[in-house]
Structure 1
C-alpha cells in the first residue's frame, strides 16, 4: 500500500486530569483526506478493539485484527489452513512469519479493492514484529490506550459472555474516588438484556491471578514496542478517563476528529 502523509512527528499525550491536553494535538487535516494506516495497542481488556472499530466506522477504513485473520484462514481451504490447524491443535504460538504472511495478503487485497487505509488492532506485539511490519507497510500513527491497573483488573473480572448468543457484557460497576492528586474514574456496567441475564458465563481465564499475570507479561513485551514507535515519533499515548461516554469524545479530540463526527451524523 502506498505510503501516506505522515500525521504525527512527535509523541503527544492526553491527560485524564481536568480533561486537558499536556501536548499539542495531531495536525488538523481534512477528514476526507485521512487515509489512515494506524495501529492500536493496549493491555488485554483495555478496549482497544472497541475504540478501533468505532474509529474504523467513522473513517471508513477496515478494522484488522490478526486473531481474526488466523481464524478466517483456519475456516478456509487456503494454503496455510492445514499448517495453522496443526499449530493450534498442538497449543503452539503462530509464528511471526505466518502472521505477517496473512497480514500482507489482507493489505494487498484491500489495496486492490481500493481501501484507503486500515487500523491494526493489537499488532505488532514485539520488536521483531514491528520491524517486519515496517518492511511490509508504512505505519503513520500508533495509539497506545492506557488505564489504571486497578480499574483494568476490575474491568476484566467483570467480563461475562452469553452462553447462548456469544455476546460480551460487563457487570463491573466501577466508581473509584480520586485521591493523592489522582483523579477518580467511573465506568458503568454493560449489562445484558433480560433474555441473556440467566445465561451469563465467565471466561475460565478471567481470574485475578491470571489477569495480573497476563498484564505482567504484556508490560514486559509492550514496553520495547512502545519505545520503538516513540523513537520514530509515531506514538500517541491516551489515558482513558472513564467508560466510552467519557473517553470517546476525548479520543476524537486527541486525533483532531472532534469536529468530524457531528458532520458525519448530519450527513447521514
Structure 2
C-alpha cells in the first residue's frame, strides 16, 4: 500500500494527492465565489499542497487563493511558479527567467499570497535566453535570503534536471505526465532515484481517460470512475508522484480526492501499464500548458 504523504525536499510534509488551482475562475461574480468555495473545500478535505503560478491570471490566481485561505491553516502549503512573463504589445507569454525578473515575480507572489516565505517555488520554464546558472543561482539567492524554502523545476528533461542539480538542490519537478502520456517517464525515474517530488500536471489526460476502453473497464470492475482509476494509477506508479488534479467544481474535487482510497489489483495495474502512453510530444509540453485548460471542468 502506498503512503499518502511525502516530504518534499526531505522535510516539507504534504498529502500526496494535491490540488491544482489553475482552473479556478478569478473574475468577480458567481464564478469567483464558487472558486473560493472550491479552494476552501479542498482544504476541508485534507489537501495540503495547492499549486498555482504567476502565469495563472498574472497573479490573480495567487490573490484568489489568499482571499480563500489566508491565514493558511497549519500544514497547508501553496506552491507557485515564476519565470513566465506577458508581452505588453501582444499579450502573449514568454519565458523570462532573468534574475531581476525572477526576483520581482517572487516579491509579487509574497505580496499576493500574503506571506513572508514560500515553502516551494518552481521555475515555470527554463529560459533559453538566460544562462541556467543565472536562473538557478537567482533562486538559490532567494532561498538564502529566506524568501523561499525549496526550489523546483517545471517541464524539464533529464539533462536539464541534472545540470540544475549541479548548481543547487532541486526539491521537485512538475512535468506533464499521466496514464496515457508517459513521455517524461525518464524524468520521473530520475526523480525517484534522487527522492525528488514529481508533480504531474494533466493528470487525467485532459479528461480523456474515460474514452479509453481499458481504463473504463477497470473503472467498472473497481466500482470507480475513470478519473479515479487514472489518479490511483499515478499514486501507485511511483512513491515520489504527487498528482495535482485541477477542477472548478466541488463534485469533481471530491471525486478526485476519493481516488486516494482506491486500491487497484496487480492484474488491473498490469493491464493499465500496457497502455501505450502515446500522447502529446515533449515539444508541446515544453511550449505551453494549453492542454491543461481541459483538465477537469
Q: By the TM > 0.5 criterion, same fold?
A: no
TM-score of the two chains, using structure 1 as the length reference: 0.34
TM-score by length of 2: 0.32
User: Which fold has the larger relative contact order, with Cα–Cα distance below 8 Å and residues 6 or more apart in sequence?
Assistant: 1
